[in-house]
Structure 1
Amino acid sequence: MFPTPIEKTSRSWQISYQIILPIVLIIWLLPLIAVAMFSIKPDSDFANGNYWGLPSSFEFFSNYGKVFFESNMPRYLLNSVFITIPTVIGAVALSAMAGFALGVYKFKGNLLIFFMFIAGNFVPFQILMVPVRDLTISMGLYDTVQGLVLFHIAFQTGFCTLFMRNFIKALPFPLIEAARVEGVAEWRIFLYVVLPLMKPALAALAVLIFTFIWNDYFWAVVLTQGPNAQPVTAGITEFNSQYRAAYHLMSAGSIVAALPPVAMFFLMQKHFIAGLTLGAVK
């Protein structure tokens, strides 16, 4: 049923694996390598068809200097921070409480509410584009950071609750029963008994949601316009003009936009892996 570990295969297959793996990895990284190369090339290299060759001149400081000091990129980055951080905090906090309620308490309609959270994850976001946009306009939240934050919290809470509820369901229930016997209030049980046990799940979920929201492009374009509220993913299009696109600056901006989620993953890698694999081995 399960694949054979590479250590237990034949020597010839192990050698083939060691040769094929770097090749596949390089092919997978080719788009990122191309973007990184273009970010240090002059604009003329693209016009001359120099896609994969060495740069005709090294323009690292020039390109990245224009991105940071001659464009609205710092504002877009700041917007992304103001959108992503509150969304992560709000979605994780709400889902932790909802997951606790659905995982611990038995009441009529528990499964129905849980299935509603699950069903929300299967709704294609594209079909909600027009009603969500009209709703934000009618509420005065169109082209605002607050509108994007509220929207993302609402849409991410379903997945987060599914994640949290299943994690809490796997916790040892006798701990909660023992706390109740001691007369501990329910909110104290959540804060001082359940929440400390959820730290790996909270960290893993925070990394996932941070990545989802920071890299979002679709809703950033639908619900915002201009540098007042647009995040960095949509702001990169500022380097497009009517008749030409500054691909070298777009590449530099893309590299800058990709750094925060990558840094977030490496900083939280230990907790992220622990959260995803907790309970996998008994």
Structure 2
Amino acid sequence: MFPTPIEKTSRTWQLTYQGLLPIVLLIWLLPLIAVATFSIKPSADFTNGNYWGLPTSFELFTNYGKVFFESDMPRYMINSVLITVPTVIGAVALSSMTGFALGVYRFKGNLAIFFLFIAGNFVPFQILMVPVRDISVNLGLYDTKVGLVLFHIAFQTGFCTLFMRNFIKALPYELIEAARVEGIAEWRIFWFVVLPLMKPALAALSVLIFTFIWNDYFWAVVLTQGPDAQPVTAGITSFNSQYRAAYHLMSAGSIVAALPPVAMFFLMQKHFIAGLTLGAVK
């Protein structure tokens, strides 16, 4: 049923595996390598069709200098921070409370409400594009960072609630019963008993949601326009002019935009992996 560990296979297969692994890894990293290479090429290389050859001149400081000092990229980066951080805080805070309510209290309709949170994750977000945009326009939230934060929180709360509810459900219920016997209020049970036990889940979920929101492109294009509210994923397209695209600047901007989530992953790698495997082993 399960694949045999590579250490227990034949020597021939081990050598084949060791030979194929670098090739597969190179193929997987090829798009990223291409973008990094394009980011240090001059614009003339694209005009002349030099897509995969060595740069005719290395324009590392020129291209990245234009991205940082001659474009709105710093503003887009700030917008991404102002959108992502409140979304993470809001989604994690709401899901912690809803997860506590659905995981601890037994009441009629508990399972139905939980299924409603889950069902929202199965709705293709593309079909919500027009109604969500109309709602944002009617409420005066279109092309605002506040509107993007609110809609992100609304869309992420379903997944976060599923995550938190399952984690809280696995906690020892005797701890909550013992606190109730001592006469502790319900909100104090949540704050002082359950919440400290949720730190691994909170850290893992925060990393996951940070990555999801920072890398979001669809809703950034649908709900915002212009540098006042657009995050960096949508702002990169500003390097396109009417008749030509500045691929070298777009590549440099893409590398800059990818740095925060990559840094977040390596700083919180343990929690990120824990979030992907949480609940897999009892």
TM range (shorter): over 0.9
Q: Which residue of 1 aligns with 2:160?
A: 160
Can you list the C-alpha shifts for 1:60-107, whole angstroms capped at 9, x where unaligned? 000000001100000000000000000000000100110011011000
Letter in 1 for 2:56: S
Q: Which residue of 2 aligns with 1:3?
A: 3
Does the CA-based 8 Å contact 1:6-1:14 persist in structure 2?
A: yes
1:281: Cα distance to partner?
Answer: 4.3
Alignment of structure 1 residues 1-282 onto 2, 5 Å: 1-278=1-278, 280-282=280-282
C-alpha distance in 1, partners of 2:255/2:224?
22
C-alpha distance in 2, partners of 1:184/1:222?
47
1:280: Cα distance to partner?
Answer: 4.2
C-alpha distance in 2, partners of 1:233/1:262?
14
Q: Which runs of 5+ in 1 are unaligned?
A: none
C-alpha distance in 1, partners of 2:78/2:7?
47
1:195: Cα distance to partner?
Answer: 1.1
1:11: Cα distance to partner?
Answer: 1.5
TM value normalised by structure 1: 0.97
- Aligned to 1:140, the other structure's residue is in SS state coil
**Which of 30-39 and 198-207 deviates more?**
198-207
C-alpha distance in 1, partners of 2:10/2:180?
56
C-alpha distance in 2, partners of 1:20/1:177?
55
Percent of aligned pairs with the same amino acid: 87
Paired residue total? 282
1:164: Cα distance to partner?
Answer: 0.7
C-alpha distance in 1, partners of 2:8/2:182?
52
C-alpha distance in 2, partners of 1:278/1:218?
28
Does the CA-based 8 Å contact 1:201-1:276 persist in structure 2?
A: no
Cα-Cα RMSD = 1.1
1:278: Cα distance to partner?
Answer: 4.7
Can you list the C-alpha shifts for 1:107-153, whole angstroms capped at 9, x where unaligned? 01100000000100000111111111110011010000000000000
Can you list the C-alpha shifts for 1:169-209, whole angstroms capped at 9, x where unaligned? 11111111111112221111111111111111111111111
Letter in 1 for 2:263: A
Does the CA-based 8 Å contact 2:207-2:271 persist in structure 1?
A: no
Can you list the C-alpha shifts for 1:34-62, whole angstroms capped at 9, x where unaligned? 00000001001111121122111110000
Q: Which runs of 5+ in 2 are unaligned?
A: none
Does the CA-based 8 Å contact 2:208-2:275 persist in structure 1?
A: no
C-alpha distance in 2, partners of 1:2/1:35?
37
Can you list the C-alpha shifts for 1:208-237, whole angstroms capped at 9, x where unaligned? 111111111111111011001000000000
TM value normalised by structure 2: 0.97
Does the CA-based 8 Å contact 2:68-2:74 persist in structure 1?
A: yes
C-alpha distance in 2, partners of 1:22/1:252?
26
